[in-house]
Structure 1
Amino acid sequence: MKKPKLYERTRWRFALIIIALIVVATSILYTNTVVYQLKLDEEKRVKLWFDAQKAMFDVTTQEDEFCDFSLNLSIIESNSDIPIILTDEHYRIMDVMNYEDKDAIKDTAYFNKEIAYLKKHQKPLVIEDDVIKNYLFYRQSTLITSLEWFPYFQFALLGVLLMLSYFTFSFNRQAEQERVWVGMAKETAHQLGTPLTSLMGWIQNINMMYPDDEDLLMIAEEMNTDVELLKLVADRFSKIGAVPKLEPINVYDNLNKHLQYVQQRASRKITFDFPDPTKHAALMVNINPLLFDWVVENLLKNALDALEGKGQIEARVIDGEYFVHIDISDTGKGIPKRSFKSVFQPGYSTKKRGWGLGLSLCKRIVEKYHNGKIFVLKSTEGKGTTFRIQLPQIK
């Protein structure tokens, strides 16, 4: 079985994910390289600041009168973005720079924690002479910190944009599919209408013109049966896109109706195990019989195809607290686990003939028009499959 569209869509999604990851990885690598170079430059600036400060400490009192400290002061004052703490040998704060509105005297507790953190994560620069010993601690600038976080922010932003793009694309695609479904269904119902009207007229003519020909009348009766079936199909297609009218129906009676229909048309080597309505209290759900019957018929038809003329079809009803669960099982060839979701996608089919729309229509009818769910409950290749329909229960 070929599934080119599904395969192509999966491959494109995988390619887009790989491209996005490459873009993010490249951005992070480039930013980290820039940050590393800036850190080296910042270390040089701190070292220069340190040297300027140390040079002033090293000058003796006699030399002080003849030294020009304008360059040193200019270097020290030029630091406007690197947070610096200068302490004595006992780690008591002497001066702080670039800690925004923090004050060394008023915010002693804050700076004590800051010094404890810096002592743990870096080795301070030491300014000392024969008498004085000071320590210089510094943090990286806000610019470098921002650059370090930038690629991760970029990654998060890219993720949000991808999610928004995906949901927008999905919504537009679903809306487009909705229009295609409705248009196709309406057109199918319209196209069936003309030949149906003609066939009904021919059947009436046969009954009027040949009232004594039993063989011809029998053929006309069989034709009428098929015409009524085609009318039912056309009516179902015409309901797609419109809001169907729901009515309370007993689940057991509905299943028994389908049992009577399918049992007459199935191989004698196929057995059926359906609940007997006379042995169960009525269990009511709101459904549109015309559309819901289409769902059950599709599941039973698929079960018959999977059995290939031999096996068992079973129906079970489970009375939940808020939902009614209808399980339809067969002992056929089963479905691979990887296909549990894809079986409901348009175009999926294991048969050489057919459009692969049956289960897709079932899902649409159950979920869109009956506020329920339909899914593969379990399946084992070579042993069989169980589909579950879940409908809100009428209390």
Structure 2
Amino acid sequence: MKKTTRWILIISSIAIVTSVLWNTYVFFQRFKEEERAKMTIWAEALGEFIQTTDLDRDMGNVTLAVMKNNTSTPIIYVGNEGEVTSNNLPENRVDDSVYIQRKIQQFTTENPPIDVTFRNTKYGTLYYGNSDVLNNLKYYPMALLLVIFLFAAVVYFFYRTFKVADQNKLWAGMAKETAHQIGTPLSSLLGWSELLKAENVNPEITAEIEKDIDRLLVITERFSKIGSVPALEKSDVVAETYKTFQYLELRSSKLVEFDFKSPEIPIYCDINRQLYSWTIENLIKNAIDAMKGKGRLTIEVVLDKKFVKINVIDIGKGIQKNDFHQIFEPGYTTKKRGWGLGLSLVKRIIEDYHNGRVRVFASTVGKGTKMQIVLKTTP
């Protein structure tokens, strides 16, 4: 039903626009014909005036009145002897021969010239252009289309905004519910961890379990923050990046060679640690997937004046250039399994919450990709 209604509205809109444009065109042509008829009468009046000036002064006065009635259409009369008379042109240009010749060429393209004759005798040629009313009418369809386009753009913008807002509410609700659901088994795991300690289980085992429990706590906190503005605090980006890097290195395939490069000094930025860690984790996991679990993965932290750049580099399958922006769109994925939300979350976290920038810095199909995050440093 909604699809049928949408098509009815689209077809009706096209029909209305087509009708308005067609009627405008018909009115334009009719007005142009009436203007030519008026100019034809004016040319006849001019020929009669030239012939009767010495014969019938009263008739000449009537003809002169007809000629003076034209106050809108620009005209140029060129006599057989080359004399030039103009009307409705700028007074300061009527003696400019170059300007007059250019106008004659313009008028000839707009309307066919009219011979000024009387009783089969030709006295000259009349050139005339479109009046201001006709010129304005000529641009009316374009103005109408522009208004319609702007109106459609505004409608689409509001429709898109409401749709995105609904989607955001849905994702925020799902994320918070996920955090709530994780919380229950997580509490049990904390209890089991304490029982294992009491039973004197190998401390190395319980230590690794506690790391995973801490990780689950971080993930729960991440999901709970979706839909709300996160608090930012001054943190060492080098340390926070390395912490996530090290955690994933220990839990990834040994076929992936990890490499971390950074200055030996701390670099401070205002970040939310949980959400920032999420972005690094997403980029690292994407890089590992691009290499199909085998290859070299490098993270570089580079200080560049007032900014810090975090580069995640892989030697995977690469990204085509026309997909550089598209990969950040929600739902876009090249994986057989995946919802295409990872990079869209990365973009939102970095650009909306941290006022930074994330982009595909460089990529070559079959050779690898360099993803880059840029954040402003904090003194």
TM-score, reference length from structure 1: 0.75
Would you say 1:109 and 2:109 are equivalent positions? no
Would you say 1:392 and 2:367 are equivalent positions? no
Distance 2:332 2:363 in 1: 17
- Name 1:193's counterpart in structure 2: 183
* Conservation of the 8 A alpha-carbon contact between 1:127 and 1:136: no
Distance 1:118 1:45 in 2: 20
The structure 2 residue matched to 1:266, chosen from 227, 230, 252, is 252
3-state SS in 2 of match to 1:315: strand
* Conservation of the 8 A alpha-carbon contact between 1:49 and 1:76: yes
* Conservation of the 8 A alpha-carbon contact between 1:324 and 1:393: yes
Q: Deviations over 1:159-185 (max 9, x none)?
A: 433443444344334433332332222
The structure 2 residue matched to 1:342, chosen from 313, 322, 326, is 326
Distance 2:179 2:120 in 1: 103
3-state SS in 1 of match to 2:300: strand
Would you say 1:238 and 2:231 are equivalent positions? no
What residue identity is the alignment partner of 2:151?
A: L
In the TM superposition, 1:211-360 aligns within 5 A as: 211-212=198-199, 214=201, 225-275=211-261, 280-360=264-344
Q: Please state how far the C-alpha of 1:82 moved relative to its aligned partner.
A: 3.1
3-state SS in 2 of match to 1:52: helix
Q: Please state how far the C-alpha of 1:326 moved relative to its aligned partner.
A: 0.8
Q: Please state how far the C-alpha of 1:285 moved relative to its aligned partner.
A: 2.0
* Conservation of the 8 A alpha-carbon contact between 2:52 and 2:59: no
Q: Please state how far the C-alpha of 1:385 moved relative to its aligned partner.
A: 1.4
3-state SS in 1 of match to 2:363: strand
The structure 2 residue matched to 1:151, chosen from 127, 141, 152, is 141
3-state SS in 1 of match to 2:94: helix
Structure 1 pair 25–369 and aligned structure 2 pair: CA distance change class (3 A): same
Distance 2:256 2:231 in 1: 35
Distance 1:160 1:362 in 2: 32
3-state SS in 2 of match to 1:305: helix
Q: Deviations over 1:94-119 (max 9, x none)?
A: x84xx4xx8xxxx7423334744433
Q: Please state how far the C-alpha of 1:57 moved relative to its aligned partner.
A: 3.8
Would you say 1:46 and 2:35 are equivalent positions? no
Q: Please state how far the C-alpha of 1:325 moved relative to its aligned partner.
A: 1.0
Question: What CA RMSD, in Å, does the superposition of the two structures yield over aligned residues?
Answer: 4.0
Matched pairs, number: 362
Distance 1:131 1:48 in 2: 16
3-state SS in 2 of match to 1:112: coil
Distance 1:159 1:363 in 2: 30
* Conservation of the 8 A alpha-carbon contact between 2:300 and 2:311: yes
Moved segments of 4+, more than 6 Å? 19-30, 67-71, 128-132, 217-222
3-state SS in 1 of match to 2:241: helix
Of 19-28 and 338-347, more deviation after overlay is shown by 19-28
3-state SS in 2 of match to 1:332: coil
3-state SS in 2 of match to 1:228: helix
What residue identity is the alignment partner of 2:73?
A: I
Q: Which runs of 5+ in 1 are unaligned?
A: 1-11
Distance 2:289 2:196 in 1: 37
* Conservation of the 8 A alpha-carbon contact between 1:91 and 1:135: no
3-state SS in 2 of match to 1:317: strand
3-state SS in 1 of match to 2:95: helix
Q: Which runs of 5+ in 2 are unaligned?
A: 1-5
Q: Please state how far the C-alpha of 1:294 moved relative to its aligned partner.
A: 0.8
Structure 1 pair 302–203 and aligned structure 2 pair: CA distance change class (3 A): same
Structure 1 pair 323–91 and aligned structure 2 pair: CA distance change class (3 A): farther
